[in-house]
Structures are given as structure tokens and as C-alpha cells.
Structure 1
């Protein structure tokens, strides 16, 4: 079974409430999961990387990001284990800083010289799949930064 990564976009008020009431954050995530399919893609609050989080970590490890986009910055205080540890937070200013850095890094530049074997994948299309995951994550990150939201990062 694979570890699956996901991001939940949270407003400043939602972030404050999550820090004060970690149990609320888990309930809120469950509610958002149920509503996602009803939202237009541009309004979605969840982004799933699935098992590609590990490959994204390799890719993004090749650049100097101002915060750890793949794993999050710090654990949500008081939160229980949601799968593979407690969820982690990226504050709005961190999201904006990472988004600015990645806006100037197209996939072909970031992946230049990357051997698919470094990804632990022998699929000849591994880089194509990773390019699609990177593009989807950048789109979600840009939207999150535009709304001045933070992220709750979870692995299950």
C-alpha cells in the first residue's frame, strides 16, 4: 500500500481555528472532501498528490525552496496522527514565497538531467507523469497564494 499525500487550502481564519481546535481541522477536511466534486476546479480546496509526493520531493529537492512544500513546515499543534503522523502546516506567507520561487521554474528546467532511476521508478514515462503532477501542484499552489491561504499537508 502506498502513502498518499494531500493538501487542504485554509484561509487565515481557518488556520487560526485549526491551531486552536485540531479536531475541527480533521472534521473540516472530511467536509471539504465530500464537497470537492461539486466545486469548479478553480474553487477546489483539496489537492491530492497521491503516491507522487515522493517523486515530487526528489524533484523539488533540486531547488532551494523557502519552505518544505512536500512535507509542510510544522506539525499542527495538538493534532493526532492522521495517517503517517499529524498534519503539517504551511502559513500563507510561506505558500506565497514557495509559489514565487516555483513560478520561475518550469518542469524542464527543474528536471534537467534527472534520471528516472532517481525517482525509484523504472517506468519510461515516469518523467511525463511527474511533469503532470508538478503542473497540477503549481496550479493549486498559485490559487492558494492568490487567495492568501495556507495549507494543511497530510499523508495517509
Structure 2
């Protein structure tokens, strides 16, 4: 079983409803995911986005640069329901999404990985642990694994900020 980082853009009204009714939020997230699996929208058009298994790697890299928003786990839990996956789902309010979008745009992936070696990921026990990553953290190209997901995450957050959306986040 893999741990996958998941994101869902929600309006302010949808966020309020999610906080009040986490079961509704879970079904809403599943419906959006199912619909977008068929249409595969670009990150700028999507309501759902996944960083797949790169969530911990991206979290490790963002922590190194003192990123101002927890865009990997979210900041405020709104449910204790284990049906969401690994740990409670969390959310970011609109103003935190805007701050995250600006901060993501301000730092390139090359800046994030500057000075980082695959050995740093192994030493920090970054998920997936060495050997689980398709090439292993100690293999050439391991640091490139997160580039595409980081770029997509940046676009996804920018679109959410432009629409004044909030965000639900969870590990599934």
C-alpha cells in the first residue's frame, strides 16, 4: 500500500461544509477524483491534484527552505475519520493558499534541490524509503523524481489562489 499526497480545491462555502460535515467532504472528494480521473485536467483547471509518493520528498525540501505554509500536510485538521487514509485530513484557508502560491512561485525546483544529495533523503528516512523509490534514493536521477509534481503543485496552488479557493489535504 502506498501513501499518496492528495489535494482538493474548495470554495469558502465548501470548506465550511467540510468542517461541519467531514463525511460529506469525503464523498465530495471521491466524486471529484473519480470525475477528474476520466477527464485528466491540467493542474490549472483541476479541482483535485496528487503529488503521488513525492509528498515526503517535497516536504523535506520545503522544510529546508523554511517554507511558510505546510502545503504537504495542511495546517488545520477537520476530521478524525480514518476513511481519509493516513491521519486526519487537514485544510488551508484561502489566505494560506494565496501565501503558499506566492511562495511556491518564488522558489524553483532547482533552488529546492540545490545542495541536497540523495544520501540526505536516505539519512532523513524520506518516504518512500530507499529501495521503494523506483530507482532508489542512491541512484542517479532520484532528485528529479519530484520536479514534475512540484511544478504541477505550483500551478495548482496558483489557480486555487486566483479563484480564492481554500484547500483540503490528506494522505491516502
Q: Same fold (TM over 0.5)?
A: yes
- 2:139 corresponds, among 123, 127, 130, to 123
Query: Gaps (5+ residues) in structure 2?
Result: 123-136
Query: Aligned pair count?
Result: 155
Mapped pair 1:10 → 2:10: yes
Mapped pair 1:134 → 2:150: yes
**Helix, strand or coil for the counterpart of 1:61?**
helix
For normalisation by structure 1, the TM-score amounts to 0.92
Partner of 1:100: 102
1:72-102 alpha-carbon deviations (Å, 9 max, x no partner): 00111x4412111121111110010111112
For normalisation by structure 2, the TM-score amounts to 0.84
- Give the conservation status (yes or no) of the 8 Å contact 1:6–1:153: yes
Which 4+ runs in 1 deviate beyond 3 A? Answer: none
Partner of 1:29: 29
| In structure 2, distance between residues paired with 1:118 and 1:130 | 15
| In structure 2, distance between residues paired with 1:148 and 1:99 | 11
**Helix, strand or coil for the counterpart of 1:18?**
helix
| In structure 2, distance between residues paired with 1:133 and 1:117 | 21
